[in-house]
Amino acid sequence: MEVRAEAVAAAVDDVAQVLAERGDPLDLAHRVVQHCATLLSASAVGFLVEDGTGRLGLLAASSSEARVVELLQLETEEGPCLDCHRSGTPVVSPDAADLAHRWPVWSRAASEHGIVSVHAVPVQLRGRTIGALNLFRDHEGPYSTVETDVAHAMASFAAVGISQLEASAQGEQLRDQLQAALESRVVLEQAKGVLAERHRIHPDEAFGLLRTQARSGRRRLLDVATEVVGATPGGVGADARAGQA
């Protein structure tokens, strides 16, 4: 696909604003995966990151399909994203046959969700690989050079976001913050489910409502999601939806 320069510039500006404001890593991670999904026509995008003890967890996913495919890798303990994290180098698999040869267990499950190719990019901080940004497609073929460059740039933004978190904490505090960020994703998914059911919309649209509410109130995404989970009908979710009308 053709990657438009103005679209890339807009995505970079959006992510840069979060970094400049030292926004929460959950919001940054979701913006990164959503921009990758849009700019690169990826069917699904996921972001795995270490929890501070070396174990990988899912910080953000562009869709429910991405979430399932990423969690399957953690469950089966095999897959391109895990290999990318272990090696610290990009992992590319352009077709279903290659997926099946390299990761037989995971690929069978991934194929059920339409995934036939993948490009995993390491997220690195000070020479250490702390996670992986993973681009999945429902059609075969590699990404172009330009698309690959955009993916690497987004992975670098993600690393900067984690480095800001690291700069504000040391030792146990950093591990606690990373773990809290990973656990925040669970609350976010619950909030998306609440809004999706309440308004009969797709979970991806529900995430848009959460972001709108967080931005308009200059609040953390986690705080808004927590309110939604505990809110009665007509609460935060209704206000966010009205704001988009």
Most confident of 38-42, 58-62, 94-98, 153-157: 94-98
Name the least confident of 70-84, 164-178, 206-220: 164-178
Q: H or E segment at 34?
A: helix 25-39
19 pLDDT higher than 50: yes
pTM beyond cutoff 0.85: no
Backbone angles phi, psi at 52, to 5 degrees: 100, -15
pLDDT of residue 65: 84
Q: What is the pLDDT of residues 164-196, one digit of tens each?
A: 765 554 544 555 666 666 677 778 888 888 998
**Per 3-state DSSP, what percentage of the chain is helix, strand, and coil (rounded to 5)?**
60, 15, 25
Q: Write down the pLDDT at residue 232.
A: 41
Say what the alpha-carbon torsion angle 44, 38, 165, 131 is, to the nearest 10 degrees: 40
Residue (of 212, 192, 211, 194) closest to 203 by Cα position: 192
Reply yes or no on whether the pLDDT at 100 is more than 90.
yes
Instruction: Look up the CATH number of domain 5-168.
Output: 3.30.450.40
Instruction: Identify any residues that bridge with 93 across adjacent strands, giving them in sequence order.
Output: 118
Query: Strands 91-93 and 56-61, how do they pair?
Result: unpaired
pLDDT, position 84: 97
* Domains of the chain, residue spans: 5-168, 185-244
CA 163 to the chain's CA centroid: 17
How many C-beta atoms lie closer than 10 Å to residue 201's C-beta? 16
pLDDT recorded at residue 26: 76
Q: Which is more confidently placed, 182 or 45?
A: 45
**Contacts made by residues 193-196, CB under 8 angstroms, sequence distance 24+:** 194/228, 194/229, 194/231, 194/237, 195/228, 195/237, 195/240, 195/241
